């Protein structure tokens, strides 16, 4: 280790013993934010010169065939569990030479991991599968899903790291070699907030897979003579998420006239069940640097001690801290998600990545899981909407993040759909799981604040890009009563332990039993205290 560093230093030192004299060996724009512009300003598609299909005509035949129903008919389920399903992202391997066949680093990036299928056995249901159980026919689907991969949020750690490196560059007082040699020419290429191309693909693919599985439920809309309403929030990435999902589900350009996409305003103070932190005041105390932030940041200060030393031995004029390691791990994840690969990844060992996952696990468990005083309250609005849809009965009160403008309207909040698909953020998916009281997902014991031990809650499995909660309502001739329901998170069937639910190998529980437990749960959650109390 040491000798390889020395060998790497020698050519840089040249005849001088002082690496500082080589300060201009790096490009002057290191760490600078660079961005391109496309489309060129003033350009637009010319539909006179390039007329669309509707003008050109001659479409040839378009018979549609039967709707797919793989969830009912396929002999095996199409899991998203192969590392190659992360195509077109490249896992470049770890610092300690571990390749993706043994350790897939993309699955230890917490909420920055691409979603993958979690086996039901992880939560103890060894023989369960997302396919309809024997004797059951799925009559209704409720899907709550997250946007795909995006650039970092504005001002997040990766941009701060770039800015401080750029400051150091302007001052010309640092140098890097060995494993960090690439930093000498590295610029910050990421945008902020919007979906990356891979993120668009994830939502599109999710749409395709749900059409394959549940396409037959569209026949219900045909019988009613109505189009589905799919909901999302107004933030750009949320609108594009719903559009890409719909494009996958219905096709391009069919999604433009086969589904109503409802955009709910996401802005501070506006009631929107998909963005509950905008009305739940305490969410901002708890989530932005609150409990989860405090415990995960404390963990980060020492989580990568030996890595801090290893990387500091390959720079002069800079001194990295645990927080910088965290920034570089995030850059590995964000650059891979946005640009296809990242030179930062190779700096880190398997152990580093596992610590990275734990950092997120702490943050989410304490901010949006059972360790948070506000998570269930933030999930309450969507829980109330779930129950309203289950019972096909409008909400009777507006005492959470629900919005009476929408929720009283059969146009904006229809109650008789066979398919519901709502897009939201990962924190909200976790909040809803907490509101649903899904103990199996979060584990019963709080996560250890200081070191990674044995624990259930893995953020890369619960809140990754395009994570989704799927609820199947079904008629099962061999069950009593015949109307049953179950919950799945990223294809893992979740065991239900509501009062009156039997332990069922397929994760099923009687529909009425679950609905009445959820109504008790609604009463159990004190929205006013959790969101506005001291
Ligand atoms: C960069 O330098 C400017 C000017 O000294 C300072 O205001 C800013 O906080 C620095 N940013 C970082 C990330 O170090
Ligand atoms: C450069 O270094 C000087 C001295 O430490 C500091 O005052 C100044 O703010 C730095 N400039 C930037 C852009 O960081
Ligand atoms: C309800 O939603 C609409 C549209 O998203 C919004 O304009 C309105 O402010 C919301 N109502 C409340 C009370 O937040
Ligand atoms: C890491 O280093 C810090 C500061 O040197 C020290 O306080 C801490 O105990 C170390 N942590 C571990 C886990 O080695
Ligand atoms: C918005 O949410 C608040 C807080 O729960 C609630 O008091 C109010 O009735 C809601 N407004 C509407 C129009 O739904
Ligand atoms: C479902 O709700 C829509 C909108 O209110 C209505 O037009 C339609 O007739 C309803 N269908 C059934 C079967 O109740
Ligand atoms: C269509 O789906 C809704 C919601 O599940 C249900 O109430 C209705 O009975 C279904 N209609 C038919 C004809 O299956
Ligand atoms: C929610 O979970 C807690 C802890 O397991 C339990 O005490 C409570 O009864 C549950 N609530 C409902 C409505 O099932």
Question: What is the predicted pLDDT for the residue at 2?
Answer: 30
Question: What is the predicted pLDDT for the residue at 27?
Answer: 77
Contact yes or no for 105/359 (Cβ under 8 A): no
Contact yes or no for 425/275 (Cβ under 8 A): yes
Q: How many CA atoms lie within 13 A of 61 on its CB side?
A: 3
The answer to whether residue 440 is domain-embedded is yes
Structural domains in the chain (count) = 1
Over the chain (534 residues), what is each successive 10-residue block's mean pLDDT? Answer: 31 38 65 88 93 90 88 94 83 89 93 97 98 98 98 94 94 90 94 96 98 98 97 97 98 97 97 96 68 91 97 96 98 96 97 98 94 94 98 94 95 98 98 97 93 95 98 98 98 97 98 98 96 89
Q: Does a cis peptide bond (omega within 30 degrees of 0) precede residue 183?
A: no
Distance CA 487, CA 332 (A): 33
Minimal-distance CA residue to ligand 6 atom 4: 410
Own/partner pairs for 442-450, CB < 8 Å, 24+ apart? Answer: 442/365, 442/369, 442/370, 443/370, 446/365, 446/370, 446/371, 447/361, 447/362, 447/365, 447/366, 447/371, 449/295, 449/298, 449/299, 449/362, 450/299
Closest-lying ligand 6 atom to the alpha carbon of residue 416 = 1
Contact yes or no for 25/177 (Cβ under 8 A): no
Minimal-distance CA residue to ligand 4 atom 6: 302
The DSSP 8-state label assigned to residue 109 in this structure reads S
The distance from CA 270 to its chain's CA centroid, rounded to whole angstroms, is 23
Question: Helices 197-214 & 322-339, crossing angle to 10 degrees?
Answer: 60
Closest-lying ligand 3 atom to the alpha carbon of residue 404 = 1
**CA nearest 125: which of 478, 513, 504, 501?**
504
Does the Cβ of 167 fall within 6 Å of ligand 2? yes
Minimal-distance CA residue to ligand 2 atom 9: 167
The CA-atom distances, in angstroms, between 51 and each of 56, 59, 299, 306, 336 are 6, 13, 58, 61, 37
pLDDT digits (tens, 9 = 90+) for 235-276: 999 999 999 999 999 999 999 999 999 999 999 999 999 999
The answer to whether residue 11 is domain-embedded is no
Does the Cβ of 305 fall within 6 Å of ligand 4? yes
- Residues with CB under 6 Å of ligand 1 are 160, 163-164, 167
The answer to whether residue 15 is domain-embedded is no
Identify which of 216, 226, 228, 416 to mutate to test ligand 7's pocket (most ligand atoms within 8 A of the CB).
416
Distance CA 260, CA 18 (A): 66
- Residues with CB under 6 Å of ligand 3 are 264-265, 270-271, 403, 405
CATH code assigned at 402: 3.40.50.1240
Identify which of 233, 270, 397, 400 to mutate to test ligand 3's pocket (most ligand atoms within 8 A of the CB).
270
**CA nearest 244: which of 212, 198, 275, 192?**
198
pLDDT digits (tens, 9 = 90+) for 443-482: 989 999 999 999 999 999 999 999 999 999 999 999 999 9
Does the Cβ of 521 fall within 6 Å of ligand 8? yes
Ligand 4 centroid–CA 301 distance in Å is 8
Does the Cβ of 279 fall within 6 Å of ligand 5? yes
The answer to whether residue 199 is domain-embedded is yes
HEC string for 227-259? CCEEEEECCHHHHHHHHHHHHHHHCCCCHHHHC
Minimal-distance CA residue to ligand 5 atom 11: 403
HEC string for 286-342? HHCCCHHHHHHHHHHHHCCHHHHHHHHCCEECCCCCHHHHHHHHHHHHHHHHHHCCC
Does the Cβ of 442 fall within 6 Å of ligand 8? no
422, β-bridge pairs: 144, 231
Ligand 3 centroid–CA 155 distance in Å is 28
Minimal-distance CA residue to ligand 7 atom 2: 418
Identify which of 276, 403, 422 to mutate to test ligand 3's pocket (most ligand atoms within 8 A of the CB).
403
Contact yes or no for 422/144 (Cβ under 8 A): yes
DSSP-H helix ranges across 172-216: 197-214
Domain range for residue 344? 36-74+86-534
Identify which of 163, 171, 172, 188 to mutate to test ligand 1's pocket (most ligand atoms within 8 A of the CB).
163
HEC string for 335-365? HHHHHCCCCCHHHCCHHHHHHHHHHHHHHHH
**CA nearest 407: which of 273, 522, 279?**
273
Distance CA 190, CA 457 (A): 30
Question: What is the predicted pLDDT for the residue at 12?
Answer: 36
The answer to whether residue 351 is domain-embedded is yes
Does the Cβ of 321 fall within 6 Å of ligand 4? no
Ligand 8 centroid–CA 443 distance in Å is 13
Structure tokens at 224: 């009613």
Distance CA 135, CA 415 (A): 26
Ligand nearest to the CA of 173: 2
Question: What is the predicted pLDDT for the residue at 23?
Answer: 46
């Amino acid at each position: 280790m040491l000798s390889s560093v020395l060998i790497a230093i020698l050519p840089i030192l040249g005849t001088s013993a002082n690496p500082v004299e080589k300060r201009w060996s790096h490009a002057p724009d290191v760490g600078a934010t660079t961005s391109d512009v496309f489309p060129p300003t003033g350009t637009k598609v010319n539909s006179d010169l390039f007329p669309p299909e509707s003008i050109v005509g001659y479409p040839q035949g378009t018979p549609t065939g039967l709707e797919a129903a793989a969830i009912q008919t396929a002999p095996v389920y199409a899991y998203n569990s192969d590392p190659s399903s992360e195509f077109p992202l490249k896992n470049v391997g770890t610092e300690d030479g571990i390749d993706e066949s043994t350790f897939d680093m993309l699955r230890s990036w917490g909420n920055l991991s691409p979603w993958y299928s979690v086996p039901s056995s992880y939560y103890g249901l060894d023989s369960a599968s997302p396919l309809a159980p024997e004797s059951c026919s799925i009559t209704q689907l409720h899907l709550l899903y997250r946007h795909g991969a995006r650039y970092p949020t504005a001002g997040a750690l990766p941009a701060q790291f770039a800015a401080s490196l750029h400051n150091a560059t302007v001052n010309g007082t640092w140098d890097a070699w060995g494993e960090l040699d690439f930093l000498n020419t590295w610029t910050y290429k990421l945008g902020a907030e919007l979906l990356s191309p891979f993120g668009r693909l994830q939502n599109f693919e999710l749409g395709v897979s749900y059409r394959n599985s549940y396409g037959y439920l569209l026949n219900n809309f045909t019988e009613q003579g109505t189009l589905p309403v799919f909901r999302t929030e107004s933030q750009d990435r949320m609108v594009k998420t719903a559009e890409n999902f719909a494009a996958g589900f219905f096709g391009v350009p069919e999604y433009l006239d086969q589904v109503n996409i409802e955009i709910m305003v996401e802005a501070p103070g506006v009631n929107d069940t998909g963005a509950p932190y905008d009305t739940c005041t305490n969410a901002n105390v708890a989530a932005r640097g609150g409990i989860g932030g405090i415990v995960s940041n404390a963990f980060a200060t020492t989580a990568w001690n030996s890595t801090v030393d290893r990387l500091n031995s390959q720079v002069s004029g800079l001194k990295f801290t645990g927080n910088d390691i965290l920034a570089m791990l995030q850059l590995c994840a964000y650059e891979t998600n946005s640009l296809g690969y990242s030179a930062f990844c190779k700096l880190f060992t398997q152990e580093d990545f596992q610590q990275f996952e734990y950092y997120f696990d702490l943050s989410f468990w304490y901010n949006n899981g059972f360790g948070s005083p506000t998570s269930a309250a933030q999930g309450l609005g969507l829980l109330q909407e779930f129950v309203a849809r289950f019972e096909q009965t409008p909400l009777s009160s507006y005492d959470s993040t629900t919005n009476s403008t929408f929720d009283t309207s059969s146009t904006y909040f229809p109650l008789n759909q066979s398919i519901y698909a709502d897009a939201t953020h990962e924190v909200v998916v976790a909040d809803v799981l907490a509101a649903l009281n899904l103990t199996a997902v979060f584990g019963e014991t709080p996560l250890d604040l200081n070191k990674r031990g044995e624990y259930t809650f893995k953020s890369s499995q619960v809140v990754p890009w395009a994570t989704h909660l799927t609820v199947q309502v079904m008629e099962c001739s061999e069950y009593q009563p015949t109307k049953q329901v179950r919950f799945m998170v990223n294809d893992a069937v979740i065991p239900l332990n509501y009062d009156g639910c039997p332990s069922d190998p397929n994760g099923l529980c009687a529909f009425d039993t679950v609905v009445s437990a959820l109504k008790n749960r609604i009463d159990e959650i004190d929205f006013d205290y959790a969101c506005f109390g001291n």
